[in-house]
Amino acid sequence: MYEQASHSLLNEILIELKPEIGKHRMRHFYTRLGANFYAIHSLFRLLYGDRPAFKARMLSLVETLASRDMERAPGLRKSDLAREKDYNWFLSQKWVGMALYCDRFADDLKGLRANLSYLQELGVNLLHVMPMLDCPPDNNDGGYAVRDFFRIDPRYGTTEEVESLAATLKKRDMLLALDIVVNHTSEEHEWARRARAGEQKYQDYYYVFPDREIPDHYEETMPEIFPETAPGNFTWDAEMGKWVMTVFNTYQWDLNYRNPAVLIEMVDIILFWANQGADILRLDAVAFLWKKLGSVCQNEREAHLILQLMKDCCQVTAPGVLFIAEAIVAPGEISKYFGEDAINAKECEIAYNATLMALLWDAVATRSAAVLGQGITSLPNKLERATWLNYVRCHDDIGLGFDDNDIRRAGFDPHQHRRFLIDYFTGRYPGSPARGLPFGENPKTGDARISGSLASLVGLESALESGDEAAIDAAIRTIVLLHSVILAFGGIPLLYYGDAIGTLNCLEYLADPAKAADNRWMHRSTFNWNKAKKRHESGTVEQRIFNALKKMIALRKEVTAFADFDNRQLLNVANPNLLAFSRTDPQNSRNRVLVLVNFNDAAQPLAIDGLRGHGFFVADGMRDLCTGERVAAENDSLILPPLSCYWLTD
Ligand code: GLC
């Protein structure tokens, strides 16, 4: 019955579509619209069914899809078709990503195009360029406070240069991922400026209130994201004479998706960037898309409906384009951004594995895999056609967002354990070699996150300062073993731009008043090309890290068992310092790898009887893919060197 109503609405809309759209040859568009319309209509009705002019809004949404479809270049249409056929293409082990800032890595888009060889040398073939859109020069949250969604910051270049970058990448069989900041705009965005000037239409794009009554009500349950620099979730705008919701910084105004016009604008923006050649769109801060009084205003059901709607719209116009969910939330909530009760992702195909990332840092501090192993056991399953983005560091702070129960199961008190982790990484814990800083410390709750570059957090900075060779070696080994996990775990590994050459903390941001209060800038340094050159000098720190990662990346691409087809099994080993899991090629079960990691700084024994039950070590030894050497047990025990990792095959 409802399906029929949906069908007739589709017919009415098609008749009403602007004549020029109707005339255009859009065979695939009509097929894809037909296939997705029921879902789009149902979701739109769930979200906006009670809003006036429902049908006109639906028409406007379909018009948006059609207009952007007309613009889609032939090359992109071709890749849409190819990816529709080979729909699991992104689950392959062949993809290895890197996130970088265009300006900090290579000044601008031209520079970036000219320096792709650095990525290729390492084996990286998925490039996530951090946001490049027009932002105010100072209050920009590293590009996440967008002033104009259709304009590249002129310091980086032009939209045409993004297209050229995408084309160059395509020729080299590389992928481009771009950010879409869906949750908020800069206070200088045209919508915000017009809202400020009193236009009701644009005040309705945001959460705007005349007095504190509703904001106070919201504040009762909303946590603070940047408690030190931007306490509270509302900002008084003197010009507008009203309060506006600003969950992140005071200059980032939260968009109000209760207004269908906002959704339609954002779908248009998504499709615009899909049309410039992005293969993947990283949707920023998606957990925050829907605010509800009396709740924490994160992970609301409607946030998921909005993402489903965005995905379905993208399926119509740019079906080859994938979404990454940037939802740094509790482990049980993250996987919901793939979509629930489905096989294929119906929201985002890829999600940041923030849980694994935080657990890895736990293993670094404790030098044990006790909490890590528990946390991996409780990681929610992903959908079949979906995958994780596995990372060690990124441009943000490290939130210790794993489950208290996993900490308890590993034998620790959650509160004390988190306190220990913060003390450890900020160097307050006696003997800790880490050089991080606390980020977002909230005196009201005692919570804190951690800033710092990978190398400085694992002790490379302090080791270099003291010239302690053993400590330098330990830091390098730690960097390598953390990457060995993200490369072998299942999912797309995402490296962070300075990490392959051991980039240390950079304190230059302190001299810039616009950045000084946000210590995440300490791990967003300008890429040091002189340091990078040392990757070719034998025996340097840079060479030792770069070569090890390069080798593992090349190996990963060869090992089909590393593709992500729910083919990982965590193996119970009696020694809590060790992590052990197997990866098996679902097409050929003889093709498998045993991953063993020792997080401890002392050599660790591993009893192999347990592994025999899984079919490993039945012969006299196994071969380590990374070194090519045979690894054999003695007296049924294998000794893993300090801070080491093995990828073993028969
Ligand atoms: C995301 C970004 C972060 C930014 C925030 C607000 O979490 O990764 O850098 O501050 O969104 O846009």
For 276, the token pair is 């410039």
pLDDT tens column, 496-525: 999 999 999 999 999 999 999 999 999 999
For 547, the token pair is 């070569």
Mean pLDDT confidence for 7-26: 78
Q: How far is CA 271 from the centre of its chain?
A: 20
254 C-beta closer than 6 A to ligand 1: no
Residue nearest to atom 10 of ligand 1 (CA): 141
3-class SS of residue 559: coil
**End-to-end alpha-carbon separation of the chain, Å?**
59
Mean pLDDT confidence for 485-497: 98
Residue nearest to atom 9 of ligand 1 (CA): 396
Which pLDDT value is given to residue 13?
Answer: 87
CB-side neighbour CA atoms (13 Å) of 533: 2
Is the pLDDT at 2 greater than 80? The verdict is no
Which pLDDT value is given to residue 27?
Answer: 82
pTM listed for this prediction: 0.97
Residue found by looking up tokens 């028409």 in the block: 59
For 290, the token pair is 């829907």
Which pLDDT value is given to residue 44?
Answer: 97
For 453, the token pair is 């570059």
- Residues 338, 10: Cα–Cα separation, whole Å: 27
Question: Which amino acid belongs to residue 104?
Answer: R
Is the pLDDT at 17 greater than 90? The verdict is no
569 and 581 Cβ atoms separated by less than 8 Å: yes
Is the pLDDT at 271 greater than 90? The verdict is yes
Is the pLDDT at 187 greater than 70? The verdict is yes
CB burial of residue 291 (10 Å; 0-12, 13-18, 19+)? buried
pLDDT band at 342 (very low <50, low <70, confident <90, very high): confident
Mean pLDDT confidence for 110-135: 98
pLDDT band at 623 (very low <50, low <70, confident <90, very high): very high
Is the pLDDT at 24 greater than 80? The verdict is no
pLDDT band at 619 (very low <50, low <70, confident <90, very high): confident
Which pLDDT value is given to residue 25?
Answer: 65
pLDDT band at 442 (very low <50, low <70, confident <90, very high): confident
Q: What sections of 383-431 are H helices per DSSP? A: 404-409, 414-425
3-class SS of residue 431: coil
* Interacting residues of 422 by C-beta distance below 8 A, sequence separation 6+: 400, 428, 438, 448, 450
Which pLDDT value is given to residue 133?
Answer: 98
* Interacting residues of 458 by C-beta distance below 8 A, sequence separation 6+: 364, 433, 434, 475, 478, 479, 482
70 and 26 Cβ atoms separated by less than 8 Å: yes
Which pLDDT value is given to residue 443?
Answer: 80
Q: What is the mean pLDDT of the chain?
A: 96
CB burial of residue 60 (10 Å; 0-12, 13-18, 19+)? middle
542 C-beta closer than 6 A to ligand 1: no
Mean pLDDT confidence for 337-351: 93
Which pLDDT value is given to residue 496?
Answer: 98
Single out the residue of 223, 481, 248, 486 nearest to residue 354, CA to CA: 486
326 C-beta closer than 6 A to ligand 1: yes
Backbone φ, ψ for residue 634 (5° rounding): -120, 130
Sheet holding 242-245, edge to edge: 208-209, 242-245, 234-237
Which pLDDT value is given to residue 23?
Answer: 67
Atom of ligand 1 nearest to the CA of 396: 9
Mean pLDDT confidence for 407-418: 96
* Interacting residues of 286 by C-beta distance below 8 A, sequence separation 6+: 182, 183, 303, 307, 325, 326, 327, 337, 348
pLDDT band at 216 (very low <50, low <70, confident <90, very high): very high
* Interacting residues of 322 by C-beta distance below 8 A, sequence separation 6+: 90, 279, 280, 281, 348, 349, 350
Is the pLDDT at 441 greater than 80? The verdict is yes
Is the pLDDT at 1 greater than 70? The verdict is no
Please tell me the distance between residue 617's alpha carbon and the centre of ligand 1 in angstroms. Answer: 46
pLDDT tens column, 527-585: 999 999 999 999 999 999 999 999 999 999 999 999 999 999 999 999 999 999 999 99
Longest dimension (CA), the chain: 80
* Interacting residues of 196 by C-beta distance below 8 A, sequence separation 6+: 187, 237, 239, 240
Could you tell which of 226, 233, 248 is best to mutate to test the pocket of ligand 1, judged by most ligand atoms within 8 Å of the CB? 248
For 43, the token pair is 């979701």
pLDDT band at 6 (very low <50, low <70, confident <90, very high): confident
141 C-beta closer than 6 A to ligand 1: yes
Please tell me the distance between residue 255's alpha carbon and the centre of ligand 1 in angstroms. Answer: 15
96 and 86 Cβ atoms separated by less than 8 Å: no
The mean-pLDDT minimum among 188-192, 213-217, 342-346, 527-531 falls in 342-346
pLDDT band at 159 (very low <50, low <70, confident <90, very high): very high
Which pLDDT value is given to residue 22?
Answer: 64
223 C-beta closer than 6 A to ligand 1: no
Return the ∠ at Cα 491 (arms to 569 and 113), rounded to 5°. Answer: 155
Mean pLDDT confidence for 481-506: 98
Residue found by looking up tokens 């909005």 in the block: 306
199 is catalytic: no
- C-alpha pair distances (Å), 186 with each of 113, 181, 182, 193, 303: 28, 10, 12, 10, 21
Residue found by looking up tokens 């949906």 in the block: 6
Is the pLDDT at 19 greater than 80? The verdict is no
Please tell me the distance between residue 68's alpha carbon and the centre of ligand 1 in angstroms. Answer: 27
Residue nearest to atom 8 of ligand 1 (CA): 396
3-class SS of residue 582: strand
- Residues 503, 516: Cα–Cα separation, whole Å: 20
Atom of ligand 1 nearest to the CA of 145: 12
Is the pLDDT at 136 greater than 80? The verdict is yes
Which pLDDT value is given to residue 545?
Answer: 98
* Interacting residues of 42 by C-beta distance below 8 A, sequence separation 6+: 2, 6
410 and 382 Cβ atoms separated by less than 8 Å: no
144 C-beta closer than 6 A to ligand 1: yes
Is the pLDDT at 52 greater than 90? The verdict is no
142 C-beta closer than 6 A to ligand 1: yes
Is the pLDDT at 171 greater than 90? The verdict is yes
Is the pLDDT at 71 greater than 70? The verdict is yes
* Interacting residues of 399 by C-beta distance below 8 A, sequence separation 6+: 328, 354, 358, 449
* DSSP-derived secondary structure for 258-327: TSHHHHHHHHHHHHHHHHTT-SEEEETTGGGS---TTS-SSS-HHHHHHHHHHHHHHHHH-TT-EEEE--
Task: Work out the percent of the chain whose per-residue pLDDT is above 70.
Answer: 98
Which pLDDT value is given to residue 618?
Answer: 83
- Strand residues in 468-620 grouped as ranges (E): 492-496, 568-570, 578-585, 588-598, 604-607
